[in-house]
Structure 1
Amino acid sequence: MPTKFLYWWDSYRREFDATVTRIDGNRVWLDQTLFHPRSGGVANDTGRLIWQGEEYVVKEVIKEGEDAVHILDREPRFRVGDTLHGVIDWERRYRLMRLHTATHIIAALAYKKYNALVTGGDITPEYARDDYNLTLSGDALRKAFQDLIAEANEIVRRGIPVKIYFLRREEAMKIPGVVKLAEREPPPGDEWRIVEIEGIDIQADGGPHVANTREIGEIVFLKSESRGKDKKRVYYTVKP
């Protein structure tokens, strides 16, 4: 059975219990997890797995197929079938959630204003970086991104709920802009996880998010740059 990603239903949970399904050196598979693997450009969670009072540091989490693989600081003494207690690094997770929801707002505004799609990106606890298929350059590009972020901050301050729910694939495919990544095919599967910022954006997405835009705080523009004719990059962060 594939890993059950518990944060799909509750991004605010910090602890969980799970059963070990496979071990390969310091790589561990669980039947369910709160740890978000690096995927969709969003950095992975870190934290601890605890077994009989012994703690293992989860240094990295990657996705292999439909499974999350937890990479520990050392080979574990526990075995397949044992029950573990997991604790995620909440401060790191929450910053990723805030930045992730911010990216959705900015992407929605860029799509609406310029019909621009995301061509790549990364979200770390320190900052986010997005690439768009824009043709602007120089001062015009910088101003465009600064204006988008200023408009995004107005949305943040409005305190709009962020809803998460599931739709059948055929229903989700009817929603304009439900996939805003230029080089990404629609997600596989018959049921899609949908993240909706009411009146602003709706996307198919599998990562953790905040429940209200006000939680994002202030989005701060860092810099913009041209990486090619149709590849324009923006860096931004959120205030602590």
Structure 2
Amino acid sequence: MAELIYQADCYVTDFEARVTRVEGNKLFLDRTAFHPTSGGVANDTGFIESSSGRWNVIDVIEEGDVAHLLDSKPDLSVGDIVRGHIDWDRRYRLMRLHTADHILTAILYKEKGALVTGGHIDPEYAKSDFSLERGEREVFEEAIKKVNEIASSGIEVKIYFLPREEAMKIPGIVKLAAKMPPTLEKLRIVEIPGIDIQADGGPHVRNTREIGEVKLLKVENKGKGKKRVYFTVP
């Protein structure tokens, strides 16, 4: 398994790594800062280069290991050294939306008992599904207002690891309606002190002030007891 640089430091945009496998236009490395599509958060893009060429990373996939899908078959062999470069603008929007989503999820969980039943975060906007019997637009307007109040207060976002057994004793550590964290010995924890704590493997900002002002886009009824909210950041 590749070392996941983004789990330790979400702000790393350039890194050096060694090729461990090449399968067509899929490239595998011993370490990477590229985040694959996972946990409802879209993948990073960018490029990988070496002395023999440069290739755009058009997708990043979790296949038991992290596969970097390139725009063409790379002229690379196992053991070659490459440099990876993340599209920072895309990554940073994903980080801001992801942290905002954690705050929104915490508010609806605490105030309405709502669990997350689905969703996805793209650079343009985030969408989240919640288990809510009553979910009029006013409910989400009030929740987004509270998200912005919390974001503007400038709370430091903490990221650390805990043994799985210890982590699973924390109330609300999992807010997904039908999914448990992977069966790892240690879980990566994302905590916004006083607001939220969740087991989570994706990229986040260091401080809630970085989120900016969250804007509610629309609310949809997706069936009995299921409401979907769309929101974005500047």
Q: Same fold (TM over 0.5)?
A: yes
Give the partner amino acid of 2:181: P
Which residue is 2:194 aligned to?
A: 199
1:76-102 Cα deviation digits (max 9, x unpaired): 111111010000000000000000000
Which residue is 1:169 aligned to?
A: 164
CA distance in 2 between counterparts of 1:123 and 1:155 reads 20
2:34 aligned with 1:39: no
Which residue is 1:145 aligned to?
A: 140
Q: Any residues of structure 2 matched to 1:207-226 within 5 Å, and which?
A: 207-226=202-221
SS in 2 for 1:58: strand
Q: Any residues of structure 2 matched to 1:80-229 within 5 Å, and which?
A: 80-137=78-135, 141-229=136-224
Give the partner amino acid of 1:46: T
Which of the numbers 208, 222, 230 marks the counterpart of 2:225? 230
By how many angstroms is 1:187 displaced?
2.6
CA distance in 1 between counterparts of 2:70 and 2:185 reads 33
Give identity over the alignment, percent: 58
Which residue is 1:77 aligned to?
A: 75
By how many angstroms is 1:188 displaced?
1.2
Give the partner amino acid of 1:177: G
SS in 2 for 1:100: helix
Deviates more, 1:50-59 or 1:151-160: 50-59
Give the partner amino acid of 1:5: L
1:164-218 Cα deviation digits (max 9, x unpaired): 0000111101100101111102331110000000100000000010000000000
Give the partner amino acid of 2:25: N
By how many angstroms is 1:53 displaced?
5.8
SS in 1 for 2:42: coil
By how many angstroms is 1:16 displaced?
0.4
1:99-129 Cα deviation digits (max 9, x unpaired): 0000000000000001100000000000000
1:53-85 Cα deviation digits (max 9, x unpaired): 6210000001012x1100000001111110100
Which residue is 1:50 aligned to?
A: 49
Runs (4+) off by over 2 Å? none
CA contact (8 A) 2:19 2:82 kept: yes
Number of aligned pairs?
A: 234
- Structure 1 unaligned segments of length 5 or more: list them: none
SS in 1 for 2:220: strand
Give RMSD over aligned pairs: 0.8
CA distance in 2 between counterparts of 1:134 and 1:74 reads 45
CA distance in 1 between counterparts of 2:227 and 2:183 reads 28
- Structure 2 unaligned segments of length 5 or more: list them: none
CA distance in 2 between counterparts of 1:99 and 1:109 reads 15
| TM-score, normalising length: structure 1 | 0.96
